[in-house]
Amino acid sequence: MKCIVGLSGGVDSSTSAAIMKERGFEVVGCTFKMFESPGASLAVNDAKKVADYLNIEHKVMDCTADFKRYVMDYFVQSYESGITPNPCVMCNRFLKFKYLDELKKQENADLIVTGHYARLKKIVDKVELLQATSAARDQSYFLYRVSGEILKHTEFPLGDYHKSYTRELAAKFGVHVAEKSDSQDVCFIPNGDYVSFIKNNSSRVSSRGDVVDENGKILGKHDGLINYTVGQRRGLGLSGGPFFVKALDIEKNLVIVANKEGVSSRTIALEEVVFINEPYLGDCEVKIRSSTPKTSAKIVKNSDKYYVELSKPEYGVARGQHCVFYDGEQVLGGGIIS
C-alpha cells in the first residue's frame, strides 16, 4: 500500500507520515512551495529533514501561481469588497487536496494523508467527515469544501488524538520538529498584520471616511475600510455604544455601525452551497465562523437558493465567511454567507 502525505514541516504532518510508515505503507512526502519567504523556505527544509530521517521519498510541488490566485488574491480582493474571507477553506479546496489528489494518481497511490484534526468514516461507497475527538483542535470546518470523492481516499491519522499526545508520538518517533510551535492562522502573513499586507498588495487606496449609524448619522471617522470587519466592536473609537460594525459601504466609503441587536441575524442567505454526500434540508447545527460554537438551525431552499434559519439570533454574521452544516459530529456541507 502506498500513500501521499502532505508534509508541511510541522509536527502534525511529520507525525502523520511516521504513523503511516509504522503501519507498513510506502510513504511519499509532498511539500508545497506556495510563496516566497524565509519562513516558507524553513518549512520546506524541515520537511526534507523529516523525510530524510524517516527514509521516505520527498517531493516539493510548486503551486505559487495557484496559491496567489486562489488564496492571496482572493484574500485581498475580499477585503477590498468589504467581505470577510477564510483563506484556509479555499486553500484546502483549490490547492492542498487538489495537488495531493493529482500526485496520488500520478504515483498510483492508495491514499492521501494529512495532519488535519478531523475524522473520516467510510461506509461502502461514501464517506462521512466527522469532527475531531479533541474539540480544541477540530479542523472539520475548514474541510467541508473538499469533495467526497477525494475524502473517500483520504486518511487523517490524528483525528482521535489531542495535540499533547501528537507531540508525545513525534518525540517517540524521534522527528526533530516534535516541539515546533504551531503555525499561525494565515500562513502568508507571519506577523499577523493583515492591513499592511492588503495595502502592499492592493491597487486601491484605503482612505479615511465616516462612521455612521443605521440612519446615516455621522458618529466618527474611520481609518480605511480594510481595517474593519462585520461584527467588530473594538477599535472603533466611538463614544456611547457599545457599537458593532454592521456593514461596510464600499461605494460611499462608510463604516455602518449598530448596537448588538442591530447586527444580529436569524436568517442567513448562502451561495456556492456544497454537500459532501447527498443534499440535505431540515434541522441541523451550524457554525458561522470557525471560532464560534455550533448553534441549532434549519436548512431551507427557496427558488434554488439555500438559507439557514437560526433557532436564536447570532450577531456579527459576515459576508464571505463560511456557514458549515453539522448533524451531530458529522459535517454535511456548507456554503458562503452572501
Asked if 272 contacts 144 with a C-beta cutoff of 8 angstroms, the reply is no
Instruction: Give the integer Cα–Cα distance in Å for 293 and 309.
Output: 16
CATH top-level class for 263-337? mainly beta
pLDDT number for residue 99? 96
Give the burial string for 315-338 (b: 16+ CB within 10 Å, else e).
bbbbbbbbbbbbeeebbbbbbbbe
Instruction: Give the integer Cα–Cα distance in Å for 319 and 337.
Output: 5
Taking only the tens of pLDDT, the chain with its 338 residues reads: 999 999 999 999 999 999 999 999 999 999 999 988 877 888 899 999 999 999 999 999 999 999 999 999 999 999 888 899 999 999 999 999 999 999 999 999 999 999 999 999 999 889 999 999 999 999 999 999 999 999 999 999 999 999 999 999 999 999 898 888 877 668 888 778 888 888 888 877 678 999 999 999 999 999 888 888 888 888 888 888 789 999 999 999 999 999 988 888 999 999 999 999 999 999 999 999 898 899 999 999 998 999 999 999 998 888 999 999 999 999 999 999 99
Asked if 232 contacts 257 with a C-beta cutoff of 8 angstroms, the reply is no
- CATH fold of 205-258, please? SH3 type barrels. (2.30.30)
Picking from 148, 144, 149, 118, the residue whose alpha carbon sits closest to that of residue 334 is: 144
Catalytic residues, by residue number, are: 91, 187
Three-state secondary structure of 6-28 = ECCCCHHHHHHHHHHHHCCCEEE
- CATH fold of 2-173, please? Rossmann fold (3.40.50)
Q: What would the grid cell of residue 82 be?
A: 468589504
Q: Do domains 2-173 and 263-337 have the same CATH topology?
A: no
What is this structure's pTM? 0.92
Q: What would the grid cell of residue 59 be?
A: 517531493
pLDDT number for residue 180? 81
Give the burial string for 55-77 (b: 16+ CB within 10 Å, else e).
ebebeeeebeebbeebbbebbbe
Write the CA distances from 101 to 3, 21, 92, 141, integer angstroms: 11, 19, 12, 20
Q: What would the grid cell of residue 151 be?
A: 475524502
Locate cell 478531523: which residue? 118
Q: Where are the domains of the chain?
A: 2-173, 205-258, 263-337
Strand partners, 162: none
